Amino acid sequence: MRLDKFLANAGVGTRSEVKNLIKLGVVLVNNEVIQDSGFDVNPERDEVLVDESPIVYQEYVYLMLNKPKGYVSAREDRKDPTAFSLIQGYEHRDLHLVGRLDKDTTGLLIFTDNGQLTHHLTSPKHDVGKIYHVTLDQPMDKKLIPVFKAGFSLGEKEMVKAAEVHLLPNDHQVALTIYEGKFHQVKRMFAKFGYQVTNLHREAVGELTLGSLKEGEFRELTATEVAKLKSL
């Protein structure tokens, strides 16, 4: 990897800023001053210092956000604030969303710059479970649980896969696990049977859960959590 790319990806500065640092002679690779921006660096083997401070390189970044209501799942939007605006300090990374949540839906969003993992988690070929806490305008009829478990048609030859439903202590709430991500899927599934979703919250993707992460906050995933995502 080029030295300037290594430093830029590590958050030292923009590509032009790190080129200037290299020219100034404040960048050392294995205790040798390097002033060539194209110098080849091995992130796993070489020690890189800038102004005597060691630079820690991450090949990929994995973040989770507890998205509040009112934020759209986009990088930019002319009308509404975006989920990306809540992620600070990672502007130097080419992050993208793993899946989306509607503007009025809260809960777990994953950000990464690992395109291969994103494709794996969002591909219809992989049954990655997503758990939602759903609040309805009326209690759900228990007779519908096996209907959801079998899968059904949303109309016009559009089928939804089998889903798991568990009634919660509040009789207007259910926990729903789905294994796909069609447009407004959860709301449309309940609307099919005359229910209106009044609140929707995604609590988990696979074994990854929000835990104690507060609404509007984000954090990096642990190595164990990343490994679990990759194993889905």
Rounded Cα–Cα distance for residues 184 and 223 (Å) = 32
CA atoms within 13 A on the CB side of 7: 30
Tens of pLDDT along the chain (232 residues) come to: 999 999 988 889 888 999 999 999 999 999 999 999 999 999 989 999 999 999 988 889 999 999 999 999 999 999 999 999 999 988 888 899 998 999 999 999 999 999 999 988 888 778 899 999 999 999 999 999 999 999 999 987 899 999 999 999 999 999 999 999 888 999 999 999 999 999 999 999 999 999 999 999 999 999 999 998 988 8
Q: Measured at the alpha carbon of residue 93, what is the angle toward residues 66 and 46, in degrees to the nearest 5? A: 125
Q: So which residues are the catalytic ones?
A: 102
Which residues fall within 8 angstroms of residue 108, CB to CB, at 6 or more apart? 64, 65, 66, 67, 202, 203, 204, 205, 208, 209, 210
For position 201, what pLDDT does the model report? Answer: 98
Confidence (pLDDT) at 126: 80
pTM: 0.86
Residue 183 C-alpha from the chain's centroid: 17
Q: How much is the pLDDT for 16?
A: 92
Q: What is the pLDDT of residue 232?
A: 82
What domains does the chain contain, in order, with CATH numbers?
3-54 (3.10.290.10), 62-231 (3.30.2350.10)
Return the residue matching tokens 């009789």.
171
Q: Which of 89, 108, 92 is nearest to 210 (CA)?
A: 108
